[in-house]
Amino acid sequence: MLKNLREKAPLSCIMRIGNSSLPLFKSELEYNPPVHGTWNIVHIGMQIPESHQIYVCSDNCMRGVVMTAAEMNCLDRFSQVVLKDHDLYDGNLEEVTINGVIDIINRLHYKPKAVLVFTVCLHHFMGSDLRRIGDELNAHFPDIDIIMCLMDPIMQKEGLSPEAKLRDKELQLIRPLDVNQQAVALLGADIPVDESSDLIELIKSNGCTVTQIADCQTYDDFLALGQSTLFINYYLTGEYGVRRLSRRLHRSYFNLPSTFCYDSIDESYQQLCELMGWQQVDTSKLRNEAEKALAHLKEVIGNTPIMIDYIAHPQPLSMAELLLNHGFNVECIYIDAVTADEIETYQRLKERYPDLILKATIHVGMRYYYQHHDEIVIGIGQKAAFFENTPHFVNIVEGGGLWGYKGIVKLCALIEEAYYEEKDTADIVVRKGLGCESCL
């Protein structure tokens, strides 16, 4: 049965949380809004210093990844093997892939320390032996670390996401080194945790150093993560890879989900201290600072409507709950699905704040959803800014490096800044990979 796709924001993509159930929205034809601040697989792979990426796919898929590399001024670290029809029906896709990658590496003007080879859905369709491809390439270039990665947009709805798979793949390059009992690695996301956060202060106060991938300037710096005594994951799509890394290297692992719940923050600190044998931290002062920041913000913005979206922070429901509990006027959350670590928060919001509005972002009905406001509306995240058509927004993605009580204090400061200052929404949200260099 044909559907009219020109209907504007039907009830199936906007609902009161009190009337909602899980899953929130039906999976069907999707809309991709022109908001690109989150990182994609090209950005993630570029985090490995002195590495080179090679994509083996057809022209139509190649366009997007080439544009990403170009927009972040990294075309010198990006190459492509373009597949043609005959490469499929001739039955030699493995040879085309192997020979193409070998030819590219031999032609490079520099010798990369690592090469990320991305195969695609065509390799799945043709039943390609990806292990054979990887083994032959590693045998041909024994002095280069070659790792096989996947660009598989057709497989995003089940199992691990492409981001989670790639984060796991890149961490497989890290080999075990002699353990440094004072070295802690903070991994899992693209946006590093703020150096001023109470989490990093806690680690450093116990005589440890903290390294994030963003700190690695050379490939040797990246490999030095193998000496860490503890691997901490702080982002949902990094959990699988960081956990596997810690098991492979036989090191301690700690999952630190990003949250705005005071009790959850305290519990995480307590568990981390118990794991490492550190002295328990008194968070009462930090909690008071967060309370003061929230009270000050409430005095400044009053009842100004706030809209939150899920690309701003991995736990948008937790953020909304914090603000609602402190009297802020959170009107809606742009969210397509509730993650496993927010189920309990979802249930509390559903019971206590049933009029909170949930809006999809990828539902096809949102193509024509474009708001206009005569008063100030604050968006937290780029999708909230786009759909609400507001220049008053907090420009962060993937958590923005916020964690713990000082993360709450910084969030308050960012919301206050958004209240007073306008941004060029149309120019900002189309730029890929917030925080990456952009030549747009």
Question: What would the pLDDT profile of 18-67 be if each residue is shown by its tens digit?
Answer: 999 999 987 677 888 999 999 999 999 999 999 999 999 888 888 889 99
Q: Is 188 left (phi over 0), alpha (psi -120 to 50) or beta?
A: left
pLDDT at 160: 83
In which band, very low, low, confident or very high, does the pLDDT at 163 lie, cut at 50, 70 and 90? confident
Average pLDDT of the residues in 68-97: 88
For 103-137, write each residue's pLDDT tens digit.
999 999 999 999 999 998 887 878 888 899 999 99
Say what the pLDDT of residue 31 is: 87
CA atoms of 348 and 15, how far apart (whole Å): 17
Helix orientation angle between 343-352 and 316-325, rounded to the nearest 10 degrees: 40
Q: What is the average per-residue pLDDT within 151-164? A: 74
**Which pLDDT score, from 0 to 100, does residue 90 have?**
72
Structure tokens at 303: 């009842």
If you average pLDDT over residues 233-248, what whole number do you get?
Answer: 95
Q: What is the mean pLDDT of residues 276-305?
A: 96
- Domains of the chain (ranges; CATH) run 49-171 (3.40.50.1980), 180-276 (3.40.50.1980), 284-428 (no CATH)
pLDDT of residue 257: 87
Which pTM was predicted? 0.92
Please return the burial class of 206, using the count of CB atoms within 10 Å of its CB with bins 0-12, 13-18 and 19+: middle
Q: What are 322-364's pLDDT values in tens digits? A: 999 999 999 999 999 999 999 999 999 999 999 999 999 998 8
Token pair recorded at residue 161: 């996401």
Confidence class for position 155, pLDDT limits 50, 70, 90 = low
| DSSP secondary structure, 315-327, as one string | -HHHHHHHHHHTT
Please compute the mean of the pLDDT values over residues 387-392 and round it to a whole number: 96
274, burial (CB in 10 Å: exposed 0-12, middle 13-18, buried 19+): exposed
- Angle (CA) 406 412 418, round 5°: 140
Burial label, 121 (beta-carbon count in 10 A; 0-12, 13-18, 19+): middle
What pLDDT, in 10s, does the model give residues 215-229? Answer: 999 999 999 999 999
Average pLDDT, the chain: 92
Per-residue pLDDT at 158 exceeds 70? no
pLDDT digits (tens, 9 = 90+) for 255-268: 998 899 999 999 99
% the chain with pLDDT above 70: 95
pLDDT at 156 over 70: no
Please say if the pLDDT value at position 89 is more than 90.
no
Counting Cα atoms < 13 Å in the Cβ hemisphere of 405 gives 23
Contact 275, 253 (CB under 8 A): no
Please, are residues 171 and 245 in contact by the beta-carbon 8 Å criterion?
yes
Mean pLDDT of 84-91: 77
Q: What angle do CA 435, 266, 402 make, to 5 degrees?
A: 10
The Cα 95–Cα 110 span in angstroms is 24
CA–CA gap between residue 154 and residue 156 (Å, rounded):
6
